[in-house]
Chain A
Amino acid sequence: MSTQIRLAGVTKRFRSRAALSLVSAEIGHGVTGVLGPNGAGKTTLLRLVATALQPDTGELDILGYDPAAADGRLAIRRRLGYLPQDVGMYSGFTVREFVDYVAILKEITDRNERRAETDRVLDEVGLGDRAGQRIRSLSGGMRRRVGLAQALLGNPALLVLDEPTVGLDPVLRLQFRELVSRYATTGTVLLSTHLTEDVAAFCQTVLVIEGGQLIFAGTPAALTSMADGRVWTSAGPDAGSELSWRGADGRYRHIGDPPPDAELLSATLEDAYLLTIRSLPAQAVRR
């Protein structure tokens, strides 16, 4: 794996709160998903990689450039497509005006080239026929697609997408996976999500963050294997399990030690993720 993003001992604090603590990771080509509960530090990690923030301590290397240096930041930004969690969109813009505005900020200054590129990315996200529509009249899912469209401008080598599938219906999520997978054949995609199914479906690597700390980095299969032998099913509830819930078939699914009369099940990525989050040592959760 050729490393595209390297974090070494990265810490970022907001006032007294540590959003990320001593995070070290190496990320290569393809799609890398960042999983974690709300407030775990996913957005902070993505903003650091997108050069929207600088770490308090530690080092970053992104696409071979140092974001701490002005020329390194500029080089990264020229190769970056970024979808923030909250895309600021002036509601009076049309879809085309918004994407066109971002295209200028991305240094696509030739009018014809900008027009062609805007058309291309809007077609990519299925909004070619909505180009003249005002942002204020779009649904949440459509706004998310407009946000994704601007991130694709200029075929960036690095796509950083913060919660890209929020607001997308199942069909659109499938189209999104197809689109991102296509980009990832030649580039690097780092996306955050709280949906394990997204990660299981198309991420080659997964990072799990909790309480500002990186608690897992590896393949989805490796994460899933952490729950092997720890997922059970039985007819009744079990107070001794770490997690236990009643499934659609009426039987109970347990994660942890086996309850009486239970059968072993194949673990899923979600089981492993829940187990990973639940089994953190106390000192890792507290800051």
Chain B
Amino acid sequence: MTYPSGEPGVFESNRHPCRVSIELLREYVSGRLGASAAGALELHLIACAACQQGVAAAGGADANERARHESTWARLALDIEPAPAVAERLAIRLGLPPHVATLVASAPPLRTAWVLILTALLGLSVLAAYMGQGPAGTLAFLVLAPIVPVIGVAIAYGQVGEPVGELAGVAPYPAFKVVLLRTMTVVTAALVPAIPLSFLLPAVGPSHLLLWLLPAVAASTTTLAVATWIRPERAAAFTMLAWLAIAAPSATRARFLSSDELIARLPLFQPAAQVMFVTVAVLAVIVVVHRRALLGGDPGLGGLP
């Protein structure tokens, strides 16, 4: 007998070897007991006459029994929901509210983006490993790395990737906010693993990080800005072609240079070019902010057929 003395008479006559305390029963009756413990106790109550009387003695023998039971199982159902995906947990840890983390991370385009980004990065690292000693591997990384987040932006934001289609455009939740949150997440996801990978390239050390980081940021923001005029997929294609057109002259000259000379002599990697990329990124951000109503499917100023 584990019930404290002085409690209702039911315990004196109870010879059942039950270890449930009256305090626990009181917590259960008052609804303060956690869902898991309450669920376990309810299963126990089915078979334990002493505890059934204990619940009655604790004030639980009333018309609310069914409601209490349903409340327990509703809370239990919430507790045993599947754990959030890795990306969602990460987003919550970064400080996003849980519902925003769900919006950002559980959206299928982001999953696709992750796969593509990682595959692309792996491809780049393999390429660099094979060609690392020559200028071709270095140049391939420096030219292709800025494109990776652009692809991510197109997938994360494109109409094709919106998991609920037209519904997102007519929902009260700001579509622009969803677009920006997803874009930032994808760009971050692309850049974070790329940074240590870039350190593995012989000619691209930490001091050369900005060589591809600035074009990557400029290309991502330009994609968003252009997407206020045309569809995101086309905006991404436009940005990628523009970047390749800028980088192509460098590629034709690269075969005559070593990896070190590549960075030291090609115009693409000189300070003037870096200043240009910063300028482009700033201008693109201004355009995006100014034309934000046209991002994210709000048809207020026109609308797609």
Which residues of A are at the interface with B, using a C-beta cutoff of 8 A?
14, 50-54, 68, 70, 73-74, 77-78, 80, 82, 84, 86-90, 92-93, 97-98, 100-102, 104-107, 109, 111-112, 114-116, 150
Q: Is the CB of B98 within 8 A of A111?
A: yes
Task: List chain A residues, Cβ under 8 A from B178.
Answer: 105
- A150 closest partner in B (C-beta): B167
- B178 closest partner in A (C-beta): A105
Among A52, A54, A84, A101, contact of B106 (Cβ-Cβ < 8 Å) = A101
Give complex CA distance A61, B144 in Å. Answer: 50
Give complex CA distance A116, B165 in Å. Answer: 24
Give complex CA distance A93, B165 in Å. Answer: 13
Q: Is the CB of B99 within 8 A of A109?
A: yes
- What's the nearest-Cβ distance from chain B to residue A214, in Å? 20
Give complex CA distance A98, B97 in Å. Answer: 19
Q: Is the CB of B164 within 8 A of A98?
A: yes
Does B103 reach chain A (CB closer than 8 Å)? yes
Complex A-B: 21 CB contacts under 8 Å: A52-B166, A52-B299, A54-B299, A54-B300, A68-B300, A77-B172, A82-B166, A82-B170, A84-B167, A86-B166, A87-B165, A89-B164, A90-B108, A93-B108, A101-B102, A101-B163, A101-B164, A105-B172, A106-B171, A111-B99, A115-B78
Task: Please encode chain B, from 54 to 84, with 1 for each CB lying within 8 Å of some chain A CB and 0 for all others.
Answer: 0000000000000000000010011000000
- A109 closest partner in B (C-beta): B99
Given contacts A82-B170, A84-B166, 9 further A-B contacts (CB under 8 A): A89-B164, A90-B108, A98-B163, A101-B103, A104-B99, A104-B103, A105-B167, A105-B178, A111-B78
Give complex CA distance A87, B167 in Å. Answer: 7
Does B173 reach chain A (CB closer than 8 Å)? yes
Task: Please encode chain B, from 289 to 301, with 1 for each CB lying within 8 Å of some chain A CB and 0 for all others.
Answer: 0000100001111
Does B305 reach chain A (CB closer than 8 Å)? yes
* Given A54-B299, A54-B302, A70-B300, A87 contacting B164 (CB threshold 8 A): yes
Does B39 reach chain A (CB closer than 8 Å)? no
Most buried by A among B165, B298, B300: B300
- What's the nearest-Cβ distance from chain B to residue A177, in Å? 23
Q: Is the CB of A50 within 8 A of B170?
A: yes
* Top-9 shortest CB links A-B: A88-B165, A105-B171, A90-B163, A77-B172, A90-B108, A109-B99, A14-B305, A105-B173, A53-B303
Task: Please encode chain B, from 104 to 121, with 1 for each CB lying within 8 Å of some chain A CB and 0 for all others.
Answer: 001110000000000000
Task: List chain A residues, Cβ under 8 A from B163.
Answer: 88-90, 93, 98, 101
Q: Is the CB of A112 within 8 A of B78?
A: yes
- A72 closest partner in B (C-beta): B300
Does B168 reach chain A (CB closer than 8 Å)? yes
Give complex CA distance A89, B225 in Å. Answer: 27
Give complex CA distance A156, B30 in Å. Answer: 35
Among B162, B170, B172, B301, contact of A52 (Cβ-Cβ < 8 Å) = B170
Task: List chain A residues, Cβ under 8 A from B202.
Answer: none
Give complex CA distance A74, B249 in Å. Answer: 49
Q: Is the CB of B305 within 8 A of A77?
A: no
Task: List chain B residues, Cβ under 8 A from A89.
Answer: 163-165
* Given A109-B99, A111-B78, A88 contacting B167 (CB threshold 8 A): yes
Q: Is the CB of B108 within 8 A of A92?
A: yes
Give complex CA distance A68, B300 in Å. Answer: 7
- What's the nearest-Cβ distance from chain B to residue A158, in Å? 11
- What's the nearest-Cβ distance from chain A to residue B190, in Å? 22
Give complex CA distance A53, B304 in Å. Answer: 8
Give complex CA distance A114, B178 in Å. Answer: 19
Give complex CA distance A219, B241 in Å. Answer: 58
Q: Is the CB of A102 within 8 A of B303?
A: no
- B166 closest partner in A (C-beta): A84
Q: Is the CB of A70 within 8 A of B170?
A: no
Task: List chain A residues, Cβ under 8 A from B102.
Answer: 100-101, 104
Q: Is the CB of B300 within 8 A of A105?
A: no
- A69 closest partner in B (C-beta): B300
Task: List chain A residues, Cβ under 8 A from B169.
Answer: 52
- What's the nearest-Cβ distance from chain B to residue A140, in Å? 16
Among A51, A90, A98, A116, contact of B299 (Cβ-Cβ < 8 Å) = A51
* Given A92-B108, A97-B106, A105-B173, A82 contacting B299 (CB threshold 8 A): no
Task: List chain A residues, Cβ under 8 A from B78.
Answer: 111-112, 115
- What's the nearest-Cβ distance from chain A to residue B35, in Å? 12
Among B107, B300, B302, B305, contact of A73 (Cβ-Cβ < 8 Å) = B300
- What's the nearest-Cβ distance from chain A to residue B238, in Å? 22
Give complex CA distance A74, B170 in Å. Answer: 9
Q: Is the CB of A102 within 8 A of B108?
A: no
Task: List chain B residues, Cβ under 8 A from A107.
Answer: 172-173
* Given A50-B170, A82-B170, A105 contacting B164 (CB threshold 8 A): yes
Task: List chain B residues, Cβ under 8 A from A88.
Answer: 162-167
Task: List chain B residues, Cβ under 8 A from A109.
Answer: 97, 99
- What's the nearest-Cβ distance from chain B to residue A178, in Å? 24
- B305 closest partner in A (C-beta): A14
Q: Which of B252-305 contact A (CB under 8 A)?
A: 293, 298-303, 305
* Given A52-B166, A87-B167, A97-B106, A106 contacting B303 (CB threshold 8 A): no
- B108 closest partner in A (C-beta): A90
- A73 closest partner in B (C-beta): B300
Give complex CA distance A107, B195 in Å. Answer: 37
- B165 closest partner in A (C-beta): A88
Give complex CA distance A142, B22 in Å. Answer: 49
- What's the nearest-Cβ distance from chain A to residue B213, in Å? 32
